[in-house]
Amino acid sequence: MQKILVTGGCGYIGSHTIVDLIENGYDVISIDNNSRSNPEIMQGIAAITGKSIKNYKVDLCNFEETQAVFQENTDIDGVIHFAAFKAVGESVENPLLYFNNNIVSLINIVKCCDIFSVPHFVFSSSCTVYGNPDESPVTENTQLKKATSPYGYTKQVGEEIVEQSAAAGIFNATLLRYFNPVGAHPKGHIGELPIGKPANLVPAITQTAIGKLPQMQVFGNDYPTKDGSCVRDYIHVCDIAHAHTLALHRLSKNKQEEACEVFNLGSGNGYTVFEVIDTFEKISQTKLNFSVAARRPGDVITIFANNEKAQEKLSWHPRFNLEEMMQTAWNWEKQLDNLK
Ligand code: WQD
134 shares a domain with 46: yes
| Contact 276 CB / ligand 1 (< 6 Å) | no
Residue 230 CA: which ligand 1 atom is closest?
Answer: 34
Measure the CA–CA gap between 124 and 248, rounded to whole angstroms: 13
In this prediction, residue 49 carries a pLDDT of: 98
CATH number at residue 282: 3.90.25.10
Per residue in 8-17, pLDDT (tens digit) is 999 999 999 9
Does residue 196 fall inside a structural domain?
Answer: no
Per residue in 19-35, pLDDT (tens digit) is 999 999 999 999 999 99
Does residue 340 fall inside a structural domain?
Answer: no
8 shares a domain with 128: yes
| Contact 153 CB / ligand 1 (< 6 Å) | no
* Residues of the domain holding 62: 3-183+235-267+308-313
65 shares a domain with 175: yes
Radius of gyration (C-alpha) of the chain in whole angstroms? 19
DSSP code, position 42: H
Residue 128 CA: which ligand 1 atom is closest?
Answer: 24
* CA of 283 relative to ligand 1 center, distance in Å: 21
Q: Whose CA is nearest to atom 36 of ligand 1?
A: 200
* CA of 174 relative to ligand 1 center, distance in Å: 24
* CA of 200 relative to ligand 1 center, distance in Å: 5
Does residue 194 fall inside a structural domain?
Answer: no
Does residue 156 fall inside a structural domain?
Answer: yes
Measure the CA–CA gap between 212 and 204, rounded to whole angstroms: 9
160 shares a domain with 77: yes
Does residue 8 fall inside a structural domain?
Answer: yes
Identify the active-site residue in 12, 130, 151, 223: 151
Measure the CA–CA gap between 245 and 2, rounded to whole angstroms: 12
214 shares a domain with 134: no
123 shares a domain with 215: no
| Contact 240 CB / ligand 1 (< 6 Å) | no
In this prediction, residue 135 carries a pLDDT of: 92
Number of domains in the chain: 2
Number of H helices, E strands in the chain: 12, 13
| Contact 22 CB / ligand 1 (< 6 Å) | no
In this prediction, residue 325 carries a pLDDT of: 98
Measure the CA–CA gap between 181 and 237, rounded to whole angstroms: 5
Measure the CA–CA gap between 301 and 181, rounded to whole angstroms: 18
Is residue 322 within 8 A of residue 236, CB to CB? The reply is no
219 shares a domain with 247: no
Q: Whose CA is nearest to atom 12 of ligand 1?
A: 201
Kindly state the greatest CA–CA separation across the chain.
55
In this prediction, residue 232 carries a pLDDT of: 98
Q: Whose CA is nearest to atom 2 of ligand 1?
A: 201
Per residue in 166-195, pLDDT (tens digit) is 999 999 999 999 999 999 999 999 999 998
> Confidence band (pLDDT; 50, 70, 90) for 340?
confident
Pocket test for ligand 1, best of 144, 155, 212, 273 (most atoms within 8 A of CB): 273
Q: Is the pLDDT of residue 39 over 90?
A: yes
Measure the CA–CA gap between 210 and 214, rounded to whole angstroms: 9
Does residue 216 fall inside a structural domain?
Answer: yes
| Contact 88 CB / ligand 1 (< 6 Å) | yes
Measure the CA–CA gap between 5 and 46, rounded to whole angstroms: 17
| Contact 290 CB / ligand 1 (< 6 Å) | no
151 catalytically annotated? yes
Is residue 43 within 8 A of residue 53, CB to CB? The reply is no
Kindly state the average pLDDT of the residues 80-92.
93
CATH number at residue 57: 3.40.50.720
Instruction: Out of 80-89, 108-117, 204-213, pick the least confident.
Output: 80-89
207 shares a domain with 143: no
74 shares a domain with 27: yes
* CA of 202 relative to ligand 1 center, distance in Å: 9
| Contact 204 CB / ligand 1 (< 6 Å) | yes
Q: Whose CA is nearest to atom 9 of ligand 1?
A: 180
Which run of H or E residues covers position 299? none
136 shares a domain with 22: yes
225 shares a domain with 130: no
In this prediction, residue 148 carries a pLDDT of: 86
| Contact 201 CB / ligand 1 (< 6 Å) | yes
216 shares a domain with 254: no
DSSP code, position 4: E
